[in-house]
Amino acid sequence: MKYDIIVLGSGPGGYVTAIRASQLGFKVAIVEKESLGGICLNWGCIPTKALLKSAQVFDYLKHASDYGLTINEFDKDFGAVIARSRGVAEGMSKGVQFLMKKNKIEVIFGTGKVKPGKKMDVTDKDGNVTELSADNIIIATGARSRELPNLPQDGKKVIGYRQAMVLPEQPKSMIVVGSGAIGVEFAHFYNSMGTQVTIVEFMPNVVPVEDEDISKQFERSLKKSGITVMTNASVEKVDTSGNGVKATVKTAKGEEIIEADIVLSAVGIKSNIENIGLEEVGIATDRDKILVNSYYQTNIPGYYAIGDVVPGQALAHVASAEGILCVEKLAGLHVEPLDYGNIPGCTYATPEIASVGLTEKAAKEKGYEIKVGKFPFSASGKAKASGNSDGFVKVIFDAKYGEWLGCHMIGAGVTDMIAEAVVARRLETTGHEIIKSVHPHPTMSEAIMEAAAAAYDEVIHI
């Protein structure tokens, strides 16, 4: 069974890569051990957004009187909320199946292992092994929840994100270890449903990769919603011998024991690079990542890697972009290496967070003289009318040339607004060009124009 390209893994990196390769005329096969769409579609990006939408609707019901509406009785059905999320994921997976057929991509289910000579063994669920060969093999095996030695996951009392999405019943209390996107999104969901949530974060700020102003605003929002936040703290050990969990948490004040029904470990991800044949082929790795060049070629000709298994941001849209770039290069098209400094990051809790480019601190550390502008959503007519006026837009420009160095947002719907900054930065748009680009009123997006105007002392509405 010979192909032009075999893709190992069908997540947002793998399946997008396969489709683009087929569009370019390659004969393509994709190997998947579980479900088409990978972790993102089945256990990550998509089903979590379904859960968060249920939480948002529930929050609206709780605050119906703020909008002049009277609802006497309402409640949640936790099982139905989980079932809706699974249904959304299953529907999306079927959509990927359709795309595979539409693009004449052969789907082979089983566990793939790369071999020398541009070959791959695929072992199906019955243990039968099929050997495939190709001119090019692209590894897109993704990642899984990372486990800490002192926080082993048993899948029941200490869980990862997969278990958090399908709990049979809602816990009364939960400790979330880690305040990255995964941690705070689940913290928000369970808190909205009525679970008592405590977040334990090792770093001084929650969502520590974000601009410090964003982190501080977000922590205030978490606390306002009733979530307990512990920063500069670490879980030293957990005792699961009783009915619930007793977590020993170390802080600057010493150690304290926190009890909860369940602990969610959200301390990052671990690349899936074990037992896929890398050592046998001689593919180089370093610190849990496959080493590749700017076009995702490994050190062994004919073998490529994209997505969470290579250095760079572990994000679905990054994996898709890398895969497209990889196969376009194989097809002989003119392509430019991906600009990892212009990748948007999004967190879908309430309020949402979206950012791209340098933080204020990073810009100063790089030696830029900067202009900073902020515009609060409390001054936005659309935000006030919608009842979602928490948050702001913060923009950072190079004072000398007007280059847009960074954009950071927190508020309702900002994950749908960040693309303006991504495109503008790619086009090397200046602050003045943003100010002079007419934005529609009333919209949340005009806060970007207002923030840019604030950076140049031209803001109107504050």
The per-residue pLDDT for range 34-90, each reduced to its tens digit, is 989 888 888 888 999 999 999 999 999 999 999 999 999 999 999 999 999 999 999
Whether residue 308 is annotated as binding a ligand: the answer is yes
pLDDT value of position 54: 96
Catalytic site residue from 63, 188, 334, 441: 441
Q: Can 158-267 and 351-455 be said to share one CATH topology?
A: no
Residue type, 156: K
Mean pLDDT of 244-270: 95
Task: Please tell me the CATH code under which domain 351-455 is placed.
Answer: 3.30.390.30
Whether residue 181 is annotated as binding a ligand: the answer is yes
Q: Is the peptide bond before 351 cis (omega within 30 degrees of 0)?
A: yes
pLDDT value of position 24: 98
Length of the chain: 462
How far apart, in whole angstroms, are the C-alpha atoms of residue 127 and residue 89?
A: 28
How far apart, in whole angstroms, are the C-alpha atoms of residue 409 and residue 213?
A: 10
DSSP for 64-126, written as a single string: GGGGT---------HHHHHHHHHHHHHHHHHHHHHHHHHTTPEEEESEEEEETTTEEEEE-TT
H helices of 124-250, where? 161-164, 181-193, 212-224
pLDDT at 371 over 90: yes
Whether residue 49 is annotated as binding a ligand: the answer is yes
Whether residue 268 is annotated as binding a ligand: the answer is yes
pLDDT at 116 over 90: yes
Give residues with Cβ within 8 angstroms of 69, minimum separation 6: none
β-pairing, 2-8 with 28-32?
parallel
Q: Give the Cβ contact number of residue 457 at 10 Å.
A: 8
Verify whether residue 441 is a known catalytic residue: yes
Give residues with Cβ within 8 angstroms of 185, minimum separation 6: 48, 52, 347, 348, 349
Rounded to 5, what percent of the chain is helix, strand, coil?
35, 25, 40
How far apart, in whole angstroms, are the C-alpha atoms of residue 266 and residue 146?
A: 8
Per-residue DSSP letter, 151: B
End-to-end Cα, the chain, rounded Å: 66
Whether residue 127 is annotated as binding a ligand: the answer is no
How far apart, in whole angstroms, are the C-alpha atoms of residue 136 and residue 140?
A: 13
pLDDT value of position 440: 97
pLDDT value of position 44: 84
Per-residue pLDDT reduced to its tens digit, 178-224: 999 999 999 999 999 999 999 999 999 999 999 999 999 999 999 99
Give the H or E element holding residue 177.
strand 173-177
H helices of 24-77, where? 38-43, 45-62
Closest CA to 191 of 175, 203, 209: 175
Whether residue 242 is annotated as binding a ligand: the answer is no
Mean pLDDT of 134-162: 94
Whether residue 201 is annotated as binding a ligand: the answer is yes
How far apart, in whole angstroms, are the C-alpha atoms of residue 410 and residue 368?
A: 24
Average pLDDT, the chain: 96
pLDDT value of position 436: 97
pLDDT at 320 over 90: yes
Whether residue 183 is annotated as binding a ligand: the answer is yes
Whether residue 256 is annotated as binding a ligand: the answer is no
Q: Give the Cβ contact number of residue 411 at 10 Å.
A: 27
Buried b (16+ CB within 10 A) or exposed e, 346-377: bbbbbbbbbbbbbbbeebeeeebebbbbbbbb
Name the CA radius of gyration of the chain, rounded: 24
Mean pLDDT of 397-423: 97
Residue type, 104: K
Whether residue 57 is annotated as binding a ligand: the answer is no
Tokens of 437: 């680009």
Per-residue pLDDT reduced to its tens digit, 134-144: 999 999 999 99
Fold of 158-267: FAD/NAD(P)-binding domain (3.50.50)
DSSP for 379-407, written as a single string: G-HHHHHHT----EEEEEEETTT-BEEEE
pLDDT value of position 38: 86
CA distances for 363 relative to 211, 213, 312, 346, 408, angstroms:
11, 14, 20, 20, 13
Tokens of 110: 């089983």
DSSP-derived 3-state class of residue 372: strand
Contact call for residues 153 and 146 (beta carbons, < 8 A): no
Mean pLDDT of 218-233: 97
CA distances for 122 relative to 112, 113, 157, 230, 309, angstroms:
4, 6, 34, 46, 20
Residue type, 55: A
Closest CA to 289 of 302, 278, 280: 278
Whether residue 180 is annotated as binding a ligand: the answer is yes
Q: What does pTM read for this prediction?
A: 0.95
Give the H or E element holding residue 238.
strand 234-239
pLDDT value of position 140: 98
The residue extents of the domains of the chain are 2-145+270-340, 158-267, 351-455
How far apart, in whole angstroms, are the C-alpha atoms of residue 402 and residue 425?
A: 11
Task: Please tell me the CATH code under which domain 2-145+270-340 is placed.
Answer: 3.50.50.60
